[in-house]
Amino acid sequence: MLTTDIQNAKVVYERPEGFTDLTTHYCPGCTHGTAHRLVAETLDEMGLREHSIGVASVGCSVFSYNYFDMDFVQAAHGRAPAMATGIKRVFPDRAVFTYQGDGDLASIGMAEIMHAAGRGENITVIFINNAIYGMTGGQMAPTTLPGMKTTSSPNGRDVETQGYPLRMAEILATLDAVSYSVRRSLHDPANIRKAKKAIRTAFEAQRRGLGFSMVELLSSCPTNWGMTPLDSLAFIEQKMVPAFPLGDYKVVDAVKSMKMKEG
């Protein structure tokens, strides 16, 4: 008979304190849940959960405020960095972050993200790039790959008329006031661990007042991509990573020299 020694069992995986008890509304295989968990774990580990203010955006993550157990506001589409500016400027000692998708950040909210970064607002931006509009049902995003079929590019994104994807981590890295701009991926455990480390670095940079930090996360959308969850992870690795190379596009010296407790 198999017995379990509860007394001496070691907890190796649990719900972060930064989460509420709700079950997310995300589709099976979507990596939003993974990204949420990384943010919640990081804020727990840094002891920031009760000192954080999150800014939700418009898109599938519109309800992210339901899942994080901390103060949250809900921004208009694309305007999360402006709203975060308004909060951070009057509460500079809080950890203020936005959680935005690609349509929100790189299309309708392009002005707000560029200028928040240009001002060096001391906020952290978690940017979910899944190359598609999820909430409205699979339309072309500013990050949709060339040739990729969506409901608004039914014959595949034609670069002649619909242009090329925007690489936000690289674009933001060109701005003087940005302290940290990197891209990671959520398609396998090794990359997820790297993503978490980057998120930690971004919040540490904010805690030390080093200025604007952003982590772009390549993510899956099995439903709108029309794939199984596993195939969608393979799609990230095989199609998205070549188009959106992973890496550190800007890490200022002050961030490089930060000493962090390993999370």
Partner 1 sequence: MAKELLKGNNAMAEAAIRAGCEAYFGYPITPQTELLEHMAARMPELGRAFVQAESEVAAINMVYGTACTGKRVMTSSSSPGVSLMTEGLSYIAGTEVPMVLIDVMRGGPGLGNIAPAQGDYNQMVRGGGHGDYKSIVLAPASVQEAIDLTVLAFDLAEKYRAIAVVLADGSLGQMMEPAELPEMQPLRKGTPDWAITGEPGRPRRLLTSIYLQPEAEETTNIRLQRRWLDVEANEVRYQETYLDDADIALVAFGTAGRVALSAVRQARAEGIKVGLFRPISLSPFPVAQIRQLASRVRSLLVVEMNAGQMLDDVKLAAQGACPVEFYGRMGGVVPLPDEVLAEILRVSTHPTADLNGHTRAAWLDRLEAGRGGN
Which residues of this chain interact with partner 1, rule CB under 8 A? 50-53, 55-56, 62, 65, 69-76, 79, 82-91, 94-96, 111-112, 114-115, 119
Which lies closer to partner 1 via its Cβ, residue 24 or residue 162? 24
Give the shortest CB-98-to-partner 1 separation in angstroms: 10
Give the shortest CB-16-to-partner 1 separation in angstroms: 14
Which lies closer to partner 1 via its Cβ, residue 89 or residue 208? 89
Give the shortest CB-96-to-partner 1 separation in angstroms: 8
Helix or strand run (H / E) with residue 106: none
Kindly give, in sequence order, each residue whose CB lies less than 8 Å from that of residue 71, ignoring residues fewer than 6 positions away. Answer: 52, 53, 54
Give the shortest CB-52-to-partner 1 separation in angstroms: 6
Neighbours of 186 (CB within 10 A): 25
Give the shortest CB-7-to-partner 1 separation in angstroms: 33
| Of residues 237, 234, 220, 235, the one with CA closest to residue 28 | 220
Counting Cα atoms < 13 Å in the Cβ hemisphere of 179 gives 26
**218 within 8 A of 233, measured Cβ to Cβ:** no
**34 within 8 A of 128, measured Cβ to Cβ:** no
Give the shortest CB-116-to-partner 1 separation in angstroms: 8
| Of residues 18, 8, 10, 74, the one with CA closest to residue 45 | 18
Which lies closer to partner 1 via its Cβ, residue 104 or residue 186? 104
Which lies closer to partner 1 via its Cβ, residue 77 or residue 194? 77
Sort strands 95-101 and 124-129 into parallel, antiparallel or unpaired. Answer: parallel
Give the shortest CB-119-to-partner 1 separation in angstroms: 7
Which whole-number Å values give the CA distances from 206 to 63, 85, 200, in the listed order? Answer: 24, 13, 10
119-152 burial: b if 16+ Cβ within 10 Å, else e: eebbbbbbbbbbbbbbbeebbbbbbbbeebbbeb
Which lies closer to partner 1 via its Cβ, residue 41 or residue 217? 41
Which lies closer to partner 1 via its Cβ, residue 52 or residue 191? 52
Which lies closer to partner 1 via its Cβ, residue 88 or residue 183? 88
CA–CA distance, 6 with 36 (Å, rounded to integer):
29
